[in-house]
Structure 1
Amino acid sequence: MKLILTQQVSGLGEPGDVVEVKDGYGRNYLVPRGFAMKWTPGAEKQIDLIRKARSAREIATLDHATEIANRLKSLNVRLRTRAGDSGRLFGSVTAADIAGAVKDSGGPDLDKRRIEVRNPIKTIGEHRVSVRLHPEVNATIQLQVIGS
């Protein structure tokens, strides 16, 4: 099945890429979740729009990505959220919450889609979160979740 990616999918490609995947993976996972759309000759025109939007929010150079990674390492990111007496959160911390906490801490404005939360954050305390800034540069954020 031929698809056009609308969002970045780890191990597959970036938004605007045309990829060939197995039918079940495309039909049951990528398309319903909005990660891709079916390729048609008419959809080719939308690829340019997707690529322009990607280039507008993308960190252009490796030097710039390295600079942002160094800024993120030195940040003390704190996120205050509701938690129970046992230290368990009411819900979990999302990528959007993390992006907001980084900005509130004086860091750069991050795209929430670039933040990778491998295991759901459901407890207060210190957590490590990975951010894909560039295909060659990943940064790690030390996130301190504080219960209120």
Structure 2
Amino acid sequence: MKVILLQDVKNVGKKDDIVEANDGYARNVLLRKGLGVEASKKAVNDLKLKKANEDRVAKEKLLEAKKFAEELREKEVILKMKVGEGGRTFGAVSTKEIAEAAKKQLGYDLDKKKMHTEPIKTLGVHNIEVKVHPKVTATLKVKVQEDK
């Protein structure tokens, strides 16, 4: 019997897979526990429509992420640090501080966990990589200035 799985089932298949199962196993386990539905023409057609819709939504999200990455590339966040003798800084700028400054200055809600950088301990302009989508990475300029 052909069954469309509604959830991942160990040793059988992943969600939305169409699998061939023994009649008894399909009726007594998969269908009864709500792990799958019988693969009728209507169910298969519904599955195809659902997958097509999910693909379209995924493409739209990818395009939005690319657009946002381009927009972010042109922006700059300014942070101030205390500096001692000889231009040595006190402490470092972390991703948490960068995320807070981006929210205040640019209005973007960036996740500090998705920023890839070492703590910034020098003055000047630094490029920070921000993962905005699993396939898209943006670059944000962080300008660290002396706090007087």
- Name the TM-score class by shorter chain: 0.5 to 0.7
Does residue 142 (structure 1) correspond to residue 141 (structure 2)? The answer is yes
C-alpha contact (below 8 Å) 1:73/1:139 kept by paired residues: yes
Report how far residue 94 of structure 1 moved. 0.5
- Displacement of 1:132: 0.8
Q: Does 1:127 align with 2:126?
A: yes
User: Deviation at 1:92?
Assistant: 0.7
TM-score, normalised on structure 2? 0.54
Structure 2: runs of 5+ lacking an equivalent: 1-59
Identity %: 39
Question: Which segments of 5 or more consecutive residues in structure 1 lack a partner in the other structure?
Answer: 1-59
4+ residue runs over 6 A deviation: none
Aligned residues: 88
Structure 1 residues 100-141: Cα deviation after superposition (integer angstroms, max 9, x where no partner):
121222141101101111x33101111111101111100111
Please state whether the residue corresponding to 1:72 is helix, strand or coil: helix
CA RMSD of aligned residues (A): 1.6
Partner residue of 1:67? 67
Name the counterpart of 2:9. Answer: none
Report the Cα distance in structure 2 between the residues aligned to 1:112 and 1:68, rounded to whole angstroms.
Answer: 17
User: Following TM superposition, by how much is the alpha carbon of 1:67 offset from its aligned partner in structure 2, in angstroms?
Assistant: 2.1
TM-score normalised by L of structure 1 = 0.54
In structure 2, give the amino acid aligned to 1:129. Answer: I
- In terms of fraction of residues, the more strand-rich structure is 1
8 Å CA contact 2:95–2:119 kept in 1: the answer is no
Q: Which has the larger radius of gyration?
A: 2
Alignment of 1:22-61 (within 5 A): 61=61
* Greater helix content: 2
Q: Match for residue 40 of structure 1? A: none
- Structure 2 distance, partners of 1:125, 1:85, is 17
SS in 1 for 2:108: coil
Please give the alpha-carbon distance, in whole angstroms, between the structure 1 residues aligned to 2:119 and 2:106: 24
